[in-house]
């Protein structure tokens, strides 16, 4: 192995250094809902790049394993604007200055569980940065939903949106840009 390859490896072992990993930042929360893992991938990358605390939004029910049956159930819930009950959690919004809020795009909007979260917690005064994944239809009205449902929040309408949960250097740079004023 060449020295150019050995040196970064050795440094990372000695100093716990990782190319994209930021030091933990207890004032940043990365909350997300993910049904099939794509938004979760992005959430993990954002937590890695920001040092934020990762928080998975979970609903207190299970959906059918079969994809098309599940889609039918979800579409009905979306149609009725049903807000699923969330599993009991321990987040205290007061602990955070910045909240990255992630969701898959469902029928051009944020997912119902994220709506449940916004109904449950008072995030007034918090800077909320939405991020969404979709399957080609774009962010739709998802950022507007966050702005409409998060009373008194400072919502960053220039959030992150991508197809299929891709991550990479562009995402890391975007995160660093978002948090540059927070130490």
Contact set for ligand FMN, span 50-89 (CB under 6 A)? 71, 74-75
Contact set for ligand FMN, span 104-133 (CB under 6 A)? 104-108, 133
Rounded Cα–Cα distance for residues 183 and 169 (Å): 21
Q: Please, is 167 exposed, middle or buried when counting C-beta atoms within 10 Å of its C-beta (0-12, 13-18, 19+)?
A: middle
**Shorter beta-carbon distance to ligand FMN: residue 106 or 143:** 106
Stretch that binds ligand FMN, among 48-56, 102-110, 115-123, 150-158 (CB under 6 A): 102-110
Closest-by-Cβ residue to ligand FMN is 137
**Shorter beta-carbon distance to ligand FMN: residue 79 or 94:** 79
Stretch that binds ligand FMN, among 20-28, 29-37, 83-91, 153-161 (CB under 6 A): 29-37
**Shorter beta-carbon distance to ligand FMN: residue 69 or 95:** 69
**Shorter beta-carbon distance to ligand FMN: residue 138 or 182:** 138
**What's the min distance (Å) between Cβ of 99 and ligand FMN?**
18
Contact 60, 89 (CB under 8 A): no
Q: Are strands 109-110 and 98-106 parallel, antiparallel or unpaired?
A: antiparallel
Rounded Cα–Cα distance for residues 21 and 87 (Å): 29
Residue 154 forms beta bridges with which residues? 127
Stretch that binds ligand FMN, among 21-29, 89-97, 98-106, 147-155 (CB under 6 A): 98-106
Angle between helices 112-120 and 142-149 (to 10 degrees): 20
**What's the min distance (Å) between Cβ of 3 and ligand FMN?**
41
Rounded Cα–Cα distance for residues 73 and 15 (Å): 49
**Shorter beta-carbon distance to ligand FMN: residue 25 or 42:** 42
Alpha carbon of 66 to those of 60, 62, 71, 111: distances in Å? 19, 12, 9, 19
Residues near ligand FMN (CB under 6 A) are: 34-40, 71, 74-75, 104-108, 133-137, 140, 164-165
């Amino acid at each position: 192995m060449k020295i150019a390859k050995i040196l970064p490896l050795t440094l990372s072992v000695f100093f716990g250094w990782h190319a994209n990993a930021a030091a933990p930042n207890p004032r940043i929360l990365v909350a997300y809902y993910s049904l099939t893992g794509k938004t979760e991938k992005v959430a993990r990358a954002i937590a890695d790049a920001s040092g934020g605390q990762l928080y998975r939004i979970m609903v207190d029910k299970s959906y059918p394993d079969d994809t098309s049956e599940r889609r039918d159930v979800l579409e009905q819930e979306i149609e009725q604007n049903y807000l699923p009950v969330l599993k009991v959690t321990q987040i205290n919004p007061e602990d955070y200055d910045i909240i990255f809020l992630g969701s898959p795009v469902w029928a051009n909007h944020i997912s119902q569980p994220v709506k449940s979260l916004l109904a449950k917690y008072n995030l007034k005064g918090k800077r909320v940065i939405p991020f969404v994944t979709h399957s080609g239809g774009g962010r739709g009205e998802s950022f507007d939903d966050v702005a409409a449902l998060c009373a008194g929040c400072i919502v960053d309408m220039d959030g992150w949106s991508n197809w299929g949960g891709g991550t990479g250097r562009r995402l890391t740079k975007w995160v660093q840009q978002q948090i540059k004023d927070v130490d």
